[in-house]
Amino acid sequence: MNDFIWILICFTLIIIAWIFLWIWTYKDAKNRGLNAKLWTLIVILAPSGVGLLIYFLVGRKQSFIKCSNCSNSIPSDSKYCNKCGNLVIQRKMIEKRPTNYLIICFAVSFMLSIGCFLGLMINNDAIELKSGYSIFLVEVNTKSKWNISYYKSTSKFSRTIDKKESHPLAINIDASCEEGQLYLKLTQNDMKEVIDISDTNGSMKIDLSKFENGEIKLELIDENCKGVGLEAYWN
């Protein structure tokens, strides 16, 4: 499936999701005796979901009933109808129609659009975000340990080791990747070393005796990798 179709499906699902949300807003507002058209326009026109937030915080907190004389919507705590002036004795509740299915349709459409977007990112190595992205990333950084795992990432990962009095002597590496080539680059001043860690078969020891005391920069180099796992530790 080419990129255009993926993008078209993503945008179509997003539009369908918002349409379900707008229909739900209209019906929910109507069920409550509110100005359904006005609240739907607020949800549609207000950017970044602000309209929906206002509807939940303001609109849905209002409660209305039907006037038994003219069927006008009036606040539930009113004693008189503001249209016909009738004394409210019997409170005729507004008939509510089910709307939960619309919220379910919205949620399903929205989640499918996210799934399509992730599918596009995973299956297209040419797409990269300037700030970098990572899918299923877990990173643990401690004084003597550096663990990273992710399915796919365009982010850059690095850290430093402070070598003092010839310690640590070595870095123990357990790394693998399902696809691509994975390298670990060690840098100290003019000295650089790049080691292939695509599959260390359980363990690898990198000798640090060639490096002087001071900071050593570790950098993970990912060349079209998928399913990356790295466990590095030193004493």
Query: pLDDT tens digits for 39-73?
Result: 999 999 988 788 889 988 888 877 677 777 787 77
* pLDDT value of position 145: 94
Residue 204 neighbours by CB under 8 Å, 6+ apart: 172, 173, 174, 175, 195, 197
- Bridge partners for 231 per DSSP: 147, 174
- Over pLDDT 70: what percentage of the chain? 88
pTM of the model: 0.49
- Bridge partners for 74 per DSSP: 65
Of the candidates 165, 167, 223, 171, the residue with the CA atom closest to the CA atom of residue 193: 171
* pLDDT value of position 155: 87
* pLDDT value of position 122: 62
Mean pLDDT of 27-34: 83
Structure tokens at 101: 């299915």
**Model confidence pLDDT, tens digit, residues 106-142:** 999 989 888 887 776 666 554 544 456 788 899 999 9
Q: Which residue has the tokens 């030193």?
A: 234
3-state secondary structure 13-38: HHHHHHHHHHHHHHHHHHHCCCCHHH
